[in-house]
């Protein structure tokens, strides 16, 4: 049974994510596993994509998510999307549904007559789904109309669910040097955020060495963290051995309602042994952006990616566009190759 409900006061629609909630579930479209995709819908390059090709007339095509268990304190569904329109046709529509207990409930409808929606790379639209808290649901993206030729693409970059928690601490940032010297004391800062609605005073922070597994710092929180505020924990550390590793932080709190955000991302650390290296980077990629930086997400030249890696590790190097005749003075030579047209 299909129920088409245009939600007014019940489901408020925002163009930006609501402040002060925790993202407890997200879909980054790394694969299509669990998704039911009809023609012209694909998952590629970390996107759910509807394409105009192959061209269909009088079409009705959808992409439907797997079952998702909503949190008991669920708040919003956030969709990062861009709708690229070829023809401003009044007969073409994009829709988003929530499916619960066999009913399809319309959350959003958009006519291509209005032109493009959003920005390239994604703009968020947000829906309140609090009435469905605790239920098992699916989400459906539907396109229909007289001809897919009137479309270019509908790109969905991210689908996230948020929840309201009374108590929720997360590690929101981990900053500090990436290259240190032997026997030198350095400082890293861990940012702990209170995403909940209540003040939290009793918590503990640990910083671990990924390579050795050792706890390099254990700090008990002393300052109460107000809702939607941060506490900053400084960690001092030195090493008497040279190696590459990564640090990561963990925040622990007995009151925590959600533990899925209690660990930080890894922070690369190189302990410099003090041995000089003569490094040459031969830039022969033809100036073409063919790789994507997995950390920043931007498309860059291979030589740029290599330079970012060396910079992050604290290495000095020389860059050339033409390979020198004599390479004897170099300990390491990196080469990047690009695409060239050949007659």
Q: Where are the domains of the chain?
A: 2-163, 169-272, 279-337
Beta strand ranges found along 65-199 (DSSP E): 68-69, 74-85, 93-100, 103-111, 117-128, 136-147, 151-163, 169-175, 179-181, 186-194
Phi-psi region of 213 (alpha: psi -120 to 50; beta: other; left: phi over 0): left
CATH number of 2-163: 2.60.120.200
- DSSP states of 196-213 as a string? SSS-B---EEEEEETTT-
Instruction: Of 300, 322, 321, give the one whose Cα is nearest residue 311.
Output: 300
| pLDDT at position 339 | 64
3-state secondary structure of 59: strand
Of the two residues 339 and 335, the one the predictor is more confident about is: 335
Arithmetic mean of pLDDT, 176-204: 94
Q: What is the pLDDT of residues 30-39, one digit of tens each?
A: 999 999 999 9
- Topology (CATH) of 169-272: Immunoglobulin-like (2.60.40)
Mean pLDDT, rounded, for 146-173: 95
Contact in structure between 148 and 41 (CB atoms under 8 Å): no
The overall average pLDDT reported for the chain is 89
CA distance 149 to 86: 8
pLDDT band at residue 340 using 50, 70 and 90 as cut-offs: low
CB atoms < 10 A from the CB of 140, how many?
A: 19
Q: What is the pLDDT of residues 289-327, one digit of tens each?
A: 888 887 777 888 888 888 988 888 888 999 998 889 899
Examine the pLDDT at 15 and tell me if it is beyond 90.
Answer: no
């Amino acid at each position: 049974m299909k129920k088409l409900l245009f939600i007014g006061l019940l489901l408020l629609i925002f163009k930006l994510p609501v402040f002060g909630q925790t993202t407890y579930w997200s879909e980054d479209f790394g694969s299509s596993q669990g998704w039911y995709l009809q023609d012209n819908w694909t998952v590629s390059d970390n996107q759910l994509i509807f394409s105009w090709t192959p061209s269909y007339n009088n079409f009705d095509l959808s992409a439907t998510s797997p079952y998702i268990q909503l949190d008991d304190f669920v708040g919003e569904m956030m969709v990062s999307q861009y709708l690229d329109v070829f023809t401003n046709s009044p007969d073409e529509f994009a829709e988003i549904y929530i499916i619960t207990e066999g009913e399809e409930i319309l959350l959003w409808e958009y006519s291509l007559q209005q032109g493009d929606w959003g920005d390239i790379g994604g703009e968020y639209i947000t829906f309140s789904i609090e009435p469905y808290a605790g239920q098992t649901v699916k989400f459906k993206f539907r396109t229909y109309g007289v001809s897919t030729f009137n479309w270019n693409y509908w790109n969905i970059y991210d689908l996230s669910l948020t929840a309201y928690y009374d108590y929720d601490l997360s590690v929101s940032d981990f900053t500090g040097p990436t290259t240190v010297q032997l026997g030198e004391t350095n400082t890293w800062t861990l940012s702990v955020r209170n995403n909940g609605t209540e003040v939290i005073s009793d918590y503990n922070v640990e910083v671990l060495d990924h390579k050795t597994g050792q706890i390099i710092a254990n700090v008990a929180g002393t300052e109460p963290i107000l809702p939607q505020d941060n506490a900053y924990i400084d960690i001092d550390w030195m090493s008497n051995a040279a190696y590459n590793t990564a640090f990561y932080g963990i925040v622990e709190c007995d009151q925590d309602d959600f533990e899925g955000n209690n660990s930080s991302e890894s922070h690369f650390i190189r302990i410099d042994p003090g041995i000089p290296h003569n490094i040459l980077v031969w830039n022969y990629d033809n100036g073409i952006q063919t790789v994507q930086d997995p950390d920043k997400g931007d498309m860059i030249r291979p030589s740029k990616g290599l330079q970012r890696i060396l910079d992050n590790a604290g290495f000095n190097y020389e860059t050339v566009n033409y390979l020198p005749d004599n390479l004897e003075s170099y300990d390491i030579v990196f080469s990047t190759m690009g695409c060239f047209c050949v007659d």
